[in-house]
Structure 1
Amino acid sequence: MSTQNRLDREVFMQDRDISVDSVPTAEETALAGLGVAAAAAAIRQGEITSVSYSAALLRRARKYSDLNSFITVDESAVLTAAAEADKARAAGSSAPLLGVPLGVKDSYLTRGLPTTIGLDGLASFTPAEDADVVGAVKDAGGIVFGKNNLVEMSFGLTGHNRRYGQVKNPYGHDRVSGGSSSGSGAAVAARIVPAAFGGDTVGSIRVPASLSGVVGFKPTTGRWLRGGVAPISHTLDTPGVFARSVEDCALIDRIVTGETGAPPSDRADLKGVRFAYAPSHYLQLIDPETEAQFTSALHRLRDAGAEVREIDLGDDFSPLADRLTWNLFFRETQQSVSEFLLRHNFPVSFEDVFTELKPELKEVWSHLVLPSGQGFLPDEAYETTLSVDRPELQRRLGEVYTRSGFDALIFPTTPCPAPLIDGRPRVTVADEEVDELVLARNTVPTSGAGLPGISIPLGLTENGLPIGIEIDGAHGRDRELLDLARRAQDVLGTVPAPA
């Protein structure tokens, strides 16, 4: 059986009368283009029903199933939940996400839907509980549309999964989508769902957001509850979200955190805003088109009234950030995964997971994740990473906002547009062939320091591939960052939907 035929059977658990053969109507195209806030408002005001909206998205999911952006979609459950949302609306409900379907990375526990973490051995495992974030979404009236494809165990940046297929980039089906939250980013870009949840440890939200032309928000580490989300590193991990506007990310952030307070700002200008950029660190290796668009963005931000100044973070900044982040990433995997599987009654052990890994990933784990591996970080070096290296990175980045008084640090999210799908662990950037880990080169420092960061679309290359720009804020200042990113998105604009 071909991969696609296998997926056709597995992705859609209930075969309802939802045709994809006809050309989408203007109404269906308009529905698919709605963002989270707009769709929720239209449902609450009775302008559309959740059933009609959900059915339009389900048709789109079937039409673009070749993207491999979902592992599981239970059409019957989606339509049933939509009908219940319409009844709740008729009874007076004004829940903030009422009747809006959202994608969920398949590393989140979902009661009633399988949670595979991208593994074949968990294809039939259905948890009895929801992850904290999923519970918050349901409490707000939202609907789980389905489980998004991902790199197995969230270990990878290109979107490849041996069991469930390579996630393809909606802007070029011969291009990678980014990872590890590959399906989440692709589904939002393809207008299958208005938003989807992912996880970010070294860039697994911001990288696919950049490559797939959507907004990807990584909160301050620890801001979002992460119970029920499969981990890699308890020090670095955080859930987060993809959408097509910063406004929608901000709405979901308020719902997930339960944060109350002053309403979002309606300020539109950038006057008085101070942006810092550090070319000696974030532009060391960069695709020419990406650099040109980033340089253009600096001018546009200045034209909008912002101050943009170059800074230097120290000669050892990049080696420091890389060393400590990857040390924590690999050193904490076995403990974090083992505890998670046991705590949530998964029918597999860490050893079972290791046995099932694809050969190239098993080799990495053998060397860096298992205590018997030659590259496994010794206890003393691990303690030094936590007590010396990480505080130093946090101090250095923290001073950008405190001592230097900047509002944000900006840089190209990824050093190049989406590479070709060719099965090799190498990519070419500025005519130089490098390891695919270079895709997270610029996102790693933010993760290592635990800062909030958001990638927004910057433009398209001549070949029609998206480029992203990341905006980072001070630790714990997520609301201010989201407000600033919203205003920056107004200045920089959006990218058109994929053809």
Structure 2
Amino acid sequence: LTSLGLAAAAAAVGNGDITSEVYTTALLQRARALAELNAFITIDEVAVLEAARDADKARAAGSAAPLLGVPLGVKDSYLTKGLPTSLGVEGLSHFVPREDADAVRAIKGAGALVFGKNNLVEMSYGLTGHNARYGQVKNPHARDRVSGGSSSGSAASVAAGLVPASLGGDTVGSIRVPASFCGVVGFKPTTGRWPRYGVAPISHTLDTTGVFARSVEDCILVDQVVTGEEAAEFSDGGYGLKGARLAFAPRQFLDLVDSEVETRFRVVVRRLQEAGAEVVEVDLGEDFNALVQTATWGIFAHETMGAVSEFLRRHDIPTTFEAIYEGLKPQLRQAWGHIVLPGGAGATSAEAYQTALNVSRPEIQRRLNTAFVSHGALVILQPTTPCTAPLIEERATVHIAGQEVSYLALANHTVSA
């Protein structure tokens, strides 16, 4: 049962092939058996089993809700009514919201159950999956390796078969990086497509909510539920690629990658060509990567303090930005002091922020749009991460292509235009 994908599980429960209680019990047993992964901060077993029984009663009464009785994970940056929401920090370990985030409300409205709250990097600020209070999330495929972050527990729980899908969030790679490392599908919607109300922010410009699942089909199902939009119809014969034009930019996205990643990526390109796609090479400009780094991190860090402070105030959360900052693990507190706090040595000035927002970001978007329009490309292909999951180590650097670089390089390809 635990190997079922979201759509398959929803169909099985909806058709009466299995009950929600039986399915939920199987997932709970697996979560207990794999507790060392640290994928969850909170699971209220009594509450989720009660919700499963209620779902079974609803089905017996005629409900045909699309996710009826299917448990989903939820990143612990989402407010969940009646279930603790820690944001990954010690000071909020006992905070219980009085309301659900909009995306949580949407999945509940479709009949889904909140299985538990997934572990994450403190305040969603990191890419490896380490949390000083709740532990390092371990990669289900190799437990000595990182899961990726910041939506670490969400990705790991789906990869390990603890839940068929889980809600996450992405600002500069927090869905895409852990999805890559854990081998699941991570869907980062276009910013603004999914509601963000009730989800702890980092950057109002770049943040988006999203989902992890084991297939594109499953991600489409959650997207339909959250947005209320119908998906495009596809034939049962699959997805034809004959005549489709795809682009890739080796100068930008193969510049600093492990040889194994480049080899696998080029195999994918060849297979797409063999399936009938036309793959064209594009160049986004010699300064593209530098432009992306400056714009992304400049916007990201400059907006954090204001975004977090406003979120705490709006939702009546019993802490302050200053208290959260003081409680961060030393490495993260040092980073915030350097780039987030006004006056920090690496803080983005108001002028530089406006340049990043109003000059650099539109230029990035213009170049990407040119690649699509001028070359008629439907997709720009790129490796999601420049390496496979690194070993779990207490270091701020990783080795990529024989070079020791900042762990922030794990997000080099997750362009946040």
- Deviation (angstroms), 1:405: 1.1
Q: 1:48 aligns with which of 12, 15, 18?
A: 18
**Partner in structure 2 of residue 422 of structure 1:** 393
The 3-state SS of whatever aligns with 1:147 is strand
* Amino acid corresponding to residue 323 of structure 2 in structure 1: D
**Partner in structure 1 of residue 89 of structure 2:** 119
* Amino acid corresponding to residue 338 of structure 2 in structure 1: H
1:236 and 2:216 matched: no
**Partner in structure 2 of residue 26 of structure 1:** none
Deviations 1:377-404 (A, max 9, x none): 1111111111111111111111222232
- Deviation (angstroms), 1:43: 0.6
- Deviation (angstroms), 1:430: 1.9
> TM-score, normalising length from structure 2?
0.98
Alignment of 1:107-146 (within 5 A): 107-146=77-116
1:96 and 2:66 matched: yes
Alignment of 1:133-282 (within 5 A): 133-260=103-230, 262-264=232-234, 266=236, 267-282=238-253
1:412 and 2:383 matched: yes
Question: 2-side partners of 1:430 and 1:277: how far apart?
Answer: 20
Question: 2-side partners of 1:261 and 1:368: how far apart?
Answer: 41
**Partner in structure 1 of residue 336 of structure 2:** 365
1:375 and 2:363 matched: no
* Amino acid corresponding to residue 105 of structure 2 in structure 1: G
Q: 1:389 aligns with which of 360, 376, 383?
A: 360
**Partner in structure 2 of residue 331 of structure 1:** 302
8 Å CA contact 2:88–2:123 kept in 1: the answer is yes
The 3-state SS of whatever aligns with 2:58 is helix
1:303 and 2:274 matched: yes
- Deviation (angstroms), 1:412: 0.7
8 Å CA contact 2:196–2:208 kept in 1: the answer is yes
**Partner in structure 1 of residue 409 of structure 2:** 438
Deviations 1:297-319 (A, max 9, x none): 11111111111111100111100
8 Å CA contact 2:220–2:231 kept in 1: the answer is no
Question: 1-side partners of 2:377 and 2:38: how far apart?
Answer: 41
1:402 and 2:404 matched: no
1:73 and 2:43 matched: yes
Q: For the structure 1 residues 321 and 431, does the alpha-carbon distance in structure 2 shift closer, same or farther, using more than 3 Å as the test?
A: same
Q: For the structure 1 residues 414 and 228, does the alpha-carbon distance in structure 2 shift closer, same or farther, using more than 3 Å as the test?
A: same
* Amino acid corresponding to residue 51 of structure 2 in structure 1: A
Question: 2-side partners of 1:230 and 1:272: how far apart?
Answer: 43
The 3-state SS of whatever aligns with 1:338 is helix
Question: 2-side partners of 1:263 and 1:347: how far apart?
Answer: 46
The 3-state SS of whatever aligns with 1:412 is coil
Q: 1:340 aligns with which of 311, 320, 329?
A: 311
The 3-state SS of whatever aligns with 1:191 is coil
8 Å CA contact 2:103–2:195 kept in 1: the answer is yes
- Deviation (angstroms), 1:263: 3.7
1:286 and 2:251 matched: no
Question: 1-side partners of 2:197 and 2:284: how far apart?
Answer: 34
Q: For the structure 1 residues 261 and 431, does the alpha-carbon distance in structure 2 shift closer, same or farther, using more than 3 Å as the test?
A: closer
1:37 and 2:7 matched: yes
- Deviation (angstroms), 1:260: 3.2
**Partner in structure 2 of residue 85 of structure 1:** 55
8 Å CA contact 2:224–2:231 kept in 1: the answer is no
8 Å CA contact 2:149–2:177 kept in 1: the answer is yes
Q: Percent identity?
A: 63
* Amino acid corresponding to residue 171 of structure 2 in structure 1: T
8 Å CA contact 2:126–2:149 kept in 1: the answer is yes
1:106 and 2:76 matched: yes
- Deviation (angstroms), 1:372: 2.1
User: Matched residue pairs, number?
Assistant: 416
Deviations 1:343-365 (A, max 9, x none): 00110011111110111111111
**Partner in structure 2 of residue 480 of structure 1:** none
What is the alpha-carbon root mean square deviation over aligned residues?
Answer: 1.0
- Deviation (angstroms), 1:240: 0.6
* Amino acid corresponding to residue 59 of structure 1 in structure 2: Q
4+ residue runs over 3 A deviation: 260-267
The 3-state SS of whatever aligns with 1:332 is helix
The 3-state SS of whatever aligns with 2:333 is helix
> TM-score, normalising length from structure 1?
0.82
